Structure 1
Amino acid sequence: MSKVTSVIEQLLIPIIDELKLELVDIEFVKEGRNHFLRVYVDTPEGGIDIEQCVQVSERLSLILDQEDPIEQNYYLEVSSPGAERPLKKEEDFQKAIGKYIYVKTYEPVKDMKELHGYLIAYTEQGLEMEIRIKTRKINIQIEKEKVAQARLAIDFSDKQI
């Protein structure tokens, strides 16, 4: 986590707690000539509405104007993490057990760096997924250190068009 995002997280915690929301992620990125501070929030049950995002945005804006922790000009965006919510914290993975996820690894696991499948288990060592290779389902272990990115995903494999 960068210095900016950790400072923003500390400013956000009281707002998130008061509104009984969950902080999913914070990004501070440069895209082209512009900087963006993106805050992703959700409810513990999952699903947030625009009014809740507006409340977080307005309250955070006031604090950011007072504290001024970011030197550059930037755009503040507060939104839902969406259906393909990132999995970063241990509790994110625990809540995702049994769900369909996408994992990108730093190095190949069973000759693959991108895996889609169901999260079977998550431990201190890593995670176990059930993936489909053609018509076979196999369980695969991925060490925590090898996970570059993980997020919920949508399973279209059993859907008919």
Structure 2
Amino acid sequence: MSKEHIENLIENIVQNIVANSPIELVDVEYIKEREWYLRIFLDKEGGIEIEDCHWVSEQLEAKLEELDPIKESYYLEVSSPGLDRALRKDRDFVRHIGDKIEITTFAPINGQKRTVGTLNNLNNGNISIDIDGVEMIIPRNQTSQVRLFVDF
């Protein structure tokens, strides 16, 4: 089973688990580092709590045990996506309109590979941000990473 197929299958399973709860699935990541990791990122209004992660983890483990869709060994991690979460899906962008984001591009745009601004919109594959009152459009396919910006 391909990485994408596993991520899609797990996304559907977790969506069903959290369907009648205030918990929201943010992302699923199945990735090989030294070992395989299946990472589930959750959030909810007011912030995700350890009990929420534990509950989803137990439900997901039971379903994975029943279906056994992943043949290689892996570590399951269920957590919050963190303050500087990556924006990957369209719904992530919609959810964070008005928030400050940091965009890293593959090649420099206006002489820079890193741009920080307030997310205005995602439209037709273009990210619209506001930088000190000036709108900048960055094609999403030219971005290597888009994250929420955290300023301490």
Q: TM-score by structure 2 length?
A: 0.88
- Classify the secondary structure of the residue corresponding to 1:18: coil
CA deviations over 1:73-126 (Å, ceiling 9, x no partner):
111000011111221222221221221111122332212222122213322241
- Classify the secondary structure of the residue corresponding to 2:27: strand
Structure 1: runs of 5 or more not aligned = 157-161
Question: Contact 1:100–1:155 (CA<8 Å) still a contact in 2?
Answer: no
Structure 2: runs of 5 or more not aligned = none
- Classify the secondary structure of the residue corresponding to 2:60: helix
After TM superposition, give the deviation of residue 10 of structure 1 in Å. 1.8
Residue 59 of structure 2 corresponds to 59
Residue 37 of structure 1 corresponds to 38
- Classify the secondary structure of the residue corresponding to 1:2: helix
Question: Contact 1:15–1:60 (CA<8 Å) still a contact in 2?
Answer: yes
> What is the one-letter code of the residue matched to 1:8?
I
Q: Distance in 1 between matches of 2:120 and 2:15?
A: 31
CA deviations over 1:49-87 (Å, ceiling 9, x no partner):
100000000000000011011111111000011111221
Matches within 5 A, 1:69-148: 69-131=69-131, 138-148=134-144
Q: Percent identity?
A: 38
Residue 25 of structure 1 corresponds to 27
- Classify the secondary structure of the residue corresponding to 2:84: coil
Question: Contact 1:40–1:78 (CA<8 Å) still a contact in 2?
Answer: yes
> What is the one-letter code of the residue matched to 1:36?
Y
Q: Distance in 2 between matches of 1:87 and 1:29?
A: 17
Residue 148 of structure 2 corresponds to 152
Residue 159 of structure 1 corresponds to none
After TM superposition, give the deviation of residue 46 of structure 1 in Å. 4.9
Q: Number of aligned residue pairs: give it.
A: 150
Q: Which runs of 4+ in 1 moved over 4 A?
A: none
Change (3 A) 1:15 1:108: same
